[in-house]
């Protein structure tokens, strides 16, 4: 076999998304040849995903005409030829618009191909003693095997022109009986693990996934998976997962200042995210994590994503530590929020209850004091869930994104007054008070609060997601709670 010893390394995209063909420089003389079969730095610079191979396999084909496939496995593969030549056919078996797309080419030692998860591959040996080698980025397991999918080599709908007619080829009994494309099962997506599923954000993520018919989601809480416990990770085959959405956290801001709460906050908000980041890094999992305005001291009127951390209290310190840990996972999204409102106990529901009490003539409550020297915007978990899936689905650049409702910056007393007005028309029953006055007689430790919690939303808007105006969402939220 004669090679072009002078060609440069280059990559060619195909009609199947993510399927890449590489021309490999082969260097040789009268003694034989040498090539860099896989070179991480050079190839990733050309567009090869940094897919993290963990295993190298070799397939020997004794005679010309041996034909294998069409198999789609739940991992990415990089395939090249050691000796001989093959004709290859690839079929996209991932759900979506490209399902059923076919690409064919010949591979010899001077060419290689990257096959993304869910793309079926098949090979026909064109010479005796053909050997091909492939790198994969997951170890075989029984759970992995359950997700394989197949299509028949002889399906006329695929239109594959085999150099050696299939009736003259050597095929396995299993390959003879694979389904036709019309009956082929699309490759299931990698699983998504949602932690803290019973919290406000966890419920919103679940509601979004179910409303949109998303598959492969698993929901856990601390009683099933304590992500701050290193031993808890052993029960998972992490190669099956593509995304972790961490909706779990310690959010008792004042209790974090106590001897009991301090270690609990550090465990949940710092150690837990650090362990998640490690497993995400090791298994190329996208990690989504929720941060807080409490990582800042609140001296700036508006906080951008790149502002330096300056937390005032233990809760903010633990959240900042968690952010730093998560940022070590190459594929991560950190969504920084403030003043979160969702299903379950929250400020808005508390104010609605107090408005009812004030409106009740049999109740002795005449007015409610709420602080007026802390400024920000509400973040509704419905919007947070939408933003998370927007970033994931659009493959936005990894990193940190501020996410709150858009619109005017208000103080807590103004928000409370609006809730009162929407609930019973008694907004004037909210009495503004300073934070110092409010906590003047507190008997338990109180965490310092940032004065300014408004977050700059420019970055997430540039990524294609425009948050809803929080005041409009608030009105809809209250009306829903009132059954209107």
Q: Hey, which residues are catalytic here? A: 71, 134
Q: Which is nearest to 410 in space by CA: 447, 438, 371?
A: 371
Q: Determine if residue 476 is left, alpha or beta; phi over 0 gives left, psi from -120 to 50 gives alpha, anything else beta.
A: alpha
Q: List the beta strands (DSSP E) in 14-118.
A: 20-23, 26-29, 32-35, 55-61, 67-72, 77-83, 86-92, 102-107, 111-115
Torsion sign across C-alpha atoms 349, 353, 355, 356: positive
Q: Which is nearest to 68 in space by CA: 56, 79, 76?
A: 79
Q: Which is nearest to 236 in space by CA: 294, 270, 297, 282?
A: 282
Within 10 Å of residue 461's Cβ, how many Cβ atoms? 14
What's the rounded Cα separation, in Å, for the pair 130 and 108? 9
Q: Do residues 118 and 187 make contact, with C-beta atoms less than 8 angstroms apart?
A: yes
Containing H/E element for 479? Answer: helix 470-481
């Amino acid at each position: 076999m004669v090679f072009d010893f002078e060609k440069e390394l280059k990559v060619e995209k195909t009609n199947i998304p993510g399927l890449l063909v590489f021309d490999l420089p082969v260097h040789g003389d009268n003694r034989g040849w040498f090539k860099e079969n896989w070179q991480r730095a050079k190839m990733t610079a050309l567009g090869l995903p940094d897919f993290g191979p963990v295993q190298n396999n070799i397939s020997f084909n004794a005679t010309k005409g041996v034909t294998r496939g069409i198999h789609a496995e739940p991992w990415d593969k990089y395939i090249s030829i050691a000796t001989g030549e093959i004709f290859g056919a690839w079929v996209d078996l991932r759900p979506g618009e490209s399902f059923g797309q076919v690409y064919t080419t010949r591979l010899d030692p001077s060419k290689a191909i990257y096959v993304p998860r869910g793309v079926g591959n098949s090979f026909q040996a064109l010479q005796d003693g053909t050997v091909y080698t492939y790198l994969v980025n997951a170890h075989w397991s029984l759970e992995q095997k359950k997700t394989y999918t197949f299509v028949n080599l002889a399906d006329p709908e695929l239109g594959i022109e085999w150099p050696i007619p299939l009736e003259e080829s050597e095929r396995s009994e299993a390959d003879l009986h694979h389904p036709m494309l019309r009956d082929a099962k699309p490759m299931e997506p990698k699983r998504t693990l949602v932690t803290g599923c019973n919290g406000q954000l966890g419920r919103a993520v679940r509601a979004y996934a179910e409303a949109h018919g998303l598959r492969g989601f698993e929901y856990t809480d601390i009683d099933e998976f304590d992500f701050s416990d290193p031993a808890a990770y052993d029960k998972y085959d992490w190669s099956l997962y593509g995304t972790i959405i961490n909706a779990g956290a310690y959010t008792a801001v004042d209790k974090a200042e106590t001897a009991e709460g301090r270690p609990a906050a550090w465990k949940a908000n710092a150690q837990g995210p650090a362990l998640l980041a490690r497993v995400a890094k090791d298994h190329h999992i996208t990690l989504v994590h929720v941060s807080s305005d409490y990582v800042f001291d609140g001296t700036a009127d508006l906080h951008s994503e790149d502002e330096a951390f300056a937390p005032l209290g233990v809760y903010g310190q633990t959240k900042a530590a968690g952010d730093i840990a998560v940022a070590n996972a190459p594929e991560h999204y950190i969504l920084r929020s403030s003043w979160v409102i969702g299903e379950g106990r929250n400020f808005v529901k508390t104010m609605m209850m107090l408005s009812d009490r004030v409106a009740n003539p049999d109740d002795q409550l005449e007015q409610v004091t709420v602080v007026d020297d802390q400024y920000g915007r509400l973040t509704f978990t419905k919007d947070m869930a939408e933003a998370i899936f927007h970033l994931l689905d659009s493959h936005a650049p990894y990193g940190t994104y501020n996410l709150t409702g858009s619109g005017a910056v208000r103080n807590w007393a103004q928000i409370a007054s609006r809730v009162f007005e929407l609930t019973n028309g008694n907004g004037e029953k909210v009495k503004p008070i300073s934070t110092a006055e409010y906590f003047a007689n507190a008997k338990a430790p109180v965490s310092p609060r940032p004065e300014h919690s408004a977050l700059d939303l420019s970055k997430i808007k540039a990524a294609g997601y425009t948050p809803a105006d929080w005041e409009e969402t608030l009105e809809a939220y209250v009306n829903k709670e009132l059954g209107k």
